[in-house]
Chains A and B, each alone.
Chain A
Amino acid sequence: MPKLSILLTDLILIKKTESKKQYSLSITAICTVSGICFLFSSCVGAEIVAFILLLTVSVIAMFFDILPVLIAATLSALIWDYFFLYPRFNFSVGNTEDKIMLSMYFVIAVLNAVLTFKIKKIEKNARLKEEKEQALQLYNTLLHSLSHELKTPIATIVASTDNLLSTNTLISESNKKILLTEISKASLRLNQQVENLLHTSRLESGFIKVKKEWCDIQEIISTATSRLEEELKHFVKKIHCKEILPLFKIDYCLMEQVMYNLIENATKYTPEKSCIEISAIDIDNGLQIIVEDNGMGFPETETGKVFEKFYRLNNTRPRGTGLGLWIAKGFVEAHDGSIILQNKIPHGAKFTINIPAHKFFNS
């Protein structure tokens, strides 16, 4: 199988080379092979030459389009007839046996070309079908997780308001308050998902404008954590920042979203009561932010894939759209920065962000 795929990639590469090149290459190949055979024609019989030329046509057929191959087949038949078949240096053919041989040579060469072409076509169709199936599967996964993420808060809002508006059921004051709280939480969750989708389309269109301004990174972190107050209640949150950090010239909104996505990710996928630590450090050419937890970490094979769009761990609950970390990476890269994920010892995940930025020291 791997051999086949190498062959296929070769094929695609060669397909891309212009068809003109294919014509000249196949003609050159036939002429060169015939030339070599001609040099040895004193010791090699015409039949052997025919086999060698057929082999050449077959090899050409493996890589080139049908038309250059047909031309090679025709050309080789003519060359064989003219230079090798008795009477030599003449297109006329002496006896009946040779006539049959020449026509058989031509038919086999053409058949060769046509059959190889057909095989290539089938392979191409199979490949296209496979690609289509993969795309469909990705689409289904996305559709499922996205509809879950969007519909759960909508369901909460619809049913809560139904309850609050209902005239024939009595709802206690405390329950009313719970319902209103749920409506508010669901609206915020819905808003966050819509934001994520908007960010996705912005990233995909390549239309991300970084508006750099002097930012207090501690303020960015505290804004993000306060938006996640409800989720962070179930965790131990630690923020480490040196007392005096300079201001950094970065995009406040984008970086706040990066922090939000990373912290939210930690609250979603680490067990309750885990410790989530956030630290910001002033480094040589800019800013370093670390978000780490002592949860399960990621399987080693997966650490490279987590920033891929729609990526989700296989065994995770049906939550999340697989967009959060992808967006975080996109926003960090828009700052010409980098983000990496490492597993911690003994367990846990550590996201490290490095962003080159101008600094402003206040005192």
Chain B
Amino acid sequence: MNNILVIDDESPIRKLLEITLESNGYRVIQTHNSIQGLSAVASNQPDLVILDLGLPDESGHITLQKLRQWYQKPVLILSVTNDEKDIVQSLDNGANDYLVKPFRTNELLARIRTALRNNSVEEMQPLITFGELEIDLAARSAKLNNEILKLTSTQYALLALFVTHEGKVLTHEFLLKKIWGKEYTGQLQYLRVFVSQLRKKIETHISNVSIITESSIGYRFVAGNKKMF
């Protein structure tokens, strides 16, 4: 059973998360401010932390920074505004994903499952399949419906990043830095072009995968029928 630690100052939200998560087979620890939250993470070593950005004693951004100095497991951010600056900042500071209040329960559970799964895959399998889409990380090739996909090396690099982070939001900055390098972080146009090229190649009626745009933040690669939106 996975332990989830909640840091949120609103007691209705805490109560709700407790009931939701416990009836879905998680154990829940509740804390209501940053100091209490940090010490509870240290002593309980939970498998995942749900962190609200608006805490009474300090900004959740600072809590996240402190947490990330010694805690490696997934952190899911709860935010009350869909201000992309807040979200991007928390993702850059090492949050795995975010949810904007009000959130749907299914979405919350899906994000938690994704975060826990991504974290547990220590060694990446060399062969990843999503229905008819097959990516061979060792051979640096991809097949759709058993036919080799013709991809440029940049397109392949982008696809590899997406499939190894399935379900997780990847920020523009992260993608640009990983594929083109640090000096390209402002060059969103490169990313837009390659994502659109990649979409044309992999988002077909048989592949059942899609690259979802998270406006002003980044992209999320989703596979299977479990569309989260």
Contact = CB atoms under 8 A, between A and B. Distances in A.
The 4 closest A-B pairs by CB, nearest first: A317-B56, A162-B105, A155-B102, A155-B101
Main secondary structure of the interface of A (DSSP, over half): helix
B19 A185 contact: no
Interface stretch (A89-97, A146-154, A235-243): A146-154
Contacts of B17: 159
A151 B101 contact: yes
Given A144-B81, A147-B80, A163 B15 contact: no
A172 B54 CA distance: 31
Given A159-B16, A171-B23, A152 B105 contact: no
Contacts of A163: 16, 19-20, 23, 105
A160 interface: yes
19 contacts: A147-B81, A151-B81, A152-B80, A152-B101, A155-B13, A155-B102, A156-B13, A158-B104, A159-B16, A159-B20, A162-B105, A169-B23, A171-B23, A172-B23, A175-B19, A175-B23, A182-B15, A317-B56, A318-B56
Interface string B1-31: 0000000011011011101100110000000
Given A148-B54, A158-B104, A171-B19, A317 B9 contact: yes
B106 interface: yes
Contacts of B16: 156, 159-160, 163, 179, 182
A147 B106 CA distance: 23
Residue picked from B13, B19, B103, most chain A C-beta under 10 Å: B19
Given A147-B81, A169-B23, A178-B15, A158 B54 contact: no
B105 A143 contact: no
A172 B13 CA distance: 18
Interface in A303-344: 317-318
Given A144-B81, A151-B101, A179 B106 contact: no
Given A169-B23, A169-B24, A185 B102 contact: no
Contacts of A175: 19, 23
